Amino acid sequence: MTRRFSHAKDLRKGRYSEENRAYFITSCCQGRKKLFLCIEPALIVMEEVRLQEGGGDCTSLALVVMPDHIYWLVQLGAGRSLQQIMNSLKGRSAYRINLERSGRQQVWQAGFHDHAIRREEDLESAARYLIQNPVRTGLVERLDQYPFWESVYHDKSHRA
């Protein structure tokens, strides 16, 4: 008999939230649907990331909302775990997106992928890598042409 494992469950194995640690997060839309090609859902996710920061439980270092997923570089504060922050972000954004679309659909895949950043000097290069994804994937030729990103290391006029 073969045991089947849930991919989302496997993503949680060994997960530990460490205060002041930065994490590179990837979270995908359900079925990799290109939900964030529409402006409103993308802006909702960006607003909800800012709200997660508002309580002081985390600091957003960089974010890019791609058509079917997000990349987020976040540093944890004291308070909530990475799992709690992601549950809140995904739950609140899904609720608002469904209100906007007058429907009820599964917005996010279960789980998320996280990678702990090991050294302080890696943060800016991780942020640069993250925000360059729209250019690398061919969505735009230059970063300043893409509206759905932010980084504490680069302003919107940055042409990395």
Classify residue 79 as left (phi > 0), alpha (psi -120 to 50) or beta.
Answer: left
Instruction: Answer whether residue 96 is part of any domain.
Output: yes
Instruction: Answer whether residue 13 is part of any domain.
Output: no
- How many domains does the chain contain in total? 1
Q: What is the pLDDT of residue 3?
A: 41
Q: Which pLDDT tens digit goes with each residue over 51-96?
A: 998 878 899 999 999 999 999 999 999 888 999 999 999 999 999 9
Q: Where are the alpha helices (DSSP H) in the chain?
A: 7-12, 39-54, 82-100, 122-131, 133-136
Instruction: Answer whether residue 10 is part of any domain.
Output: no
Instruction: Answer whether residue 93 is part of any domain.
Output: yes
Q: Which pLDDT tens digit goes with each residue over 100-114?
A: 887 788 899 999 999
Q: What is the CATH number of the domain that holds 108?
A: 3.30.70.1290
Q: What is the pLDDT of residue 157?
A: 54
Range of 33's domain?
A: 19-151
Instruction: Answer whether residue 4 is part of any domain.
Output: no
